[in-house]
């Protein structure tokens, strides 16, 4: 019945900033949509819109191929260097 | 003619001159296949996010160029044969929005190249602040020594 919204309504940050194009070489900008282990964050958690989620997922995959962002991080690497090479 | 961007990672085990030579050879591959290089962007030696062929580091170089789409297969084939390359990433800029972004990136790379050229011209300017920094460290170290007797004095007063 009168169920309250558990989380506050989220807005797409990229829409707010009017992002038209993302550059895969700017690794710091990709941080927002990456988890601690460099997984791509789902839309339900970041609040990205479909258009920008599609853009960011392509850009992150390009950055992974270019060895700018890791594909996976082992447990050891997570502890020793949290986001050190993302700058 | 379509606009492209190529990111190239050269092996870090080579010497500085060999890296410059191989970068030049890579650009030669593009121009010999009818490409027009708009600008290049040197990102320099960087740590790789994951080791490639047991290398932890790599020399990153970005080339912006325009070429006929048919020539890309040949350029990529030549890159694959090149053993000095760890990795290359080719990006196509096709739609109007992407072409606009490509122009912006080229402009940014040109500006960056001009900045680094200016910094190389005036090495004296960078040396001056470095010289002033050293006495500051000595001053900071001095008060620490003074504090030690104060700390010793307080338990004596109790």
The side-by-side arrangement of strands in the sheet containing B36-52 is B36-52, B55-67, B2-10, B85-93
Q: What are the chain A neighbours of B43 within 8 Å (beta carbons)?
A: 25
Dihedral sign from CA coordinates of A39, A42, A48, A51:
positive
Predicted complex ipTM: 0.73
Assign A6 a pLDDT band (cuts: 50, 70, 90).
low
State both tokens at B94: 């096709």
Give the pLDDT confidence of B78-129 residue by residue, as tens digits: 999 999 999 999 999 999 988 999 998 889 888 988 888 888 776 544 444 4
Spatial CA neighbour of A32 closest among A60, A70, A5? A60
Chosen from A19, A20, A25 to mutate, greatest number of chain B CBs within 10 A: A25
> Three-state SS string across B4-41, please?
EEEEEEECCCCCHHHHHHHHHHHHHHHHHCCCEEEEEE
Distance CA A78, CA A72 (A): 10
The first and second tokens of residue B36, run together, are 């027009």
User: How much is the pLDDT for B137?
Assistant: 43
Q: What is the pTM of this model?
A: 0.73
Spell out the residues 6+ positions from residue A70 whose beta carbon is closer than 8 angstroms to its own.
A38, A64, A77, B49, B50
Chain A residues with CB-CB distance to B50 below 8 A: 67, 70-71
CA A3 distance to own-chain centroid: 30
Please tell me the distance from the alpha carbon of residue A51 to that of residue A18, in angstroms, as a whole number: 12
**pLDDT (0 to 100) of residue A42:** 92
Structural domains in chain A plus CATH codes? 13-80 (4.10.640.10)
- Please say whether the beta carbons of B18 and B11 come within 8 A: no
Domain boundaries, chain B: 2-121
At B128 the pLDDT is 44
The length of chain B is 158
Evaluate if residue B133 carries a pLDDT over 50: no
Give B139's pLDDT tier (boundaries 50, 70, 90): very low
Could you give the CA distance from residue B85 to residue B14 in angstroms, rounded to a whole number?
11
- The residue ranking higher by pLDDT, B140 or A34, is A34
Q: Which residues of B touch A23 (CB under 8 A)?
A: 101, 105
- For residue range B23-69, what is the model confidence (pLDDT) as tens digits? 999 999 999 999 999 989 888 898 898 999 999 999 999 999 999 99
Q: Scanning every residue of chain B, which has its alpha carbon at the shortest distance from the alpha carbon of A65?
A: B89
| CATH number 3.40.30.10 is the correct assignment for the domain at B2-121 | no
């Amino acid at each position: 019945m009168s169920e309250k919204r558990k989380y506050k309504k989220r807005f797409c940050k990229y829409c707010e900033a009017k992002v038209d194009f993302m550059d895969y070489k700017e690794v710091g900008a990709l941080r927002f949509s990456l988890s601690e282990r460099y997984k791509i964050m789902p839309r339900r958690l970041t609040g990205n819109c479909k258009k920008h989620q599609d853009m960011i997922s392509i850009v992150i995959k390009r950055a992974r191929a270019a060895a700018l962002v890791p594909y996976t991080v082992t447990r050891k690497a997570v502890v020793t260097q949290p986001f050190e090479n993302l700058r | 003619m379509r606009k492209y961007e190529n990111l190239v990672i050269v092996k870090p085990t080579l010497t500085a001159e060999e890296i410059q030579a191989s970068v030049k050879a890579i650009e030669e591959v593009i121009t010999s296949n009818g490409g027009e290089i708009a600008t290049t962007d040197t990102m320099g030696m960087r740590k790789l996010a994951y080791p490639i062929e047991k290398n932890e580091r790599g020399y990153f170089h970005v080339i912006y160029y325009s070429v006929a789409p048919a020539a890309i297969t040949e350029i990529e084939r030549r890159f694959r044969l090149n053993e000095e390359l760890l990795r290359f990433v080719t990006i196509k800029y096709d739609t109007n929005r992407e072409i606009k972004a490509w122009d912006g990136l080229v402009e940014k790379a040109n500006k960056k190249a001009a900045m680094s050229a200016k910094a190389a011209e005036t090495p004296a300017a960078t040396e001056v602040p470095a010289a002033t920094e050293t006495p500051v460290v000595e001053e900071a170290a001095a008060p620490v020594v003074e504090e030690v007797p104060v700390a010793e004095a307080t338990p004596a007063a109790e």
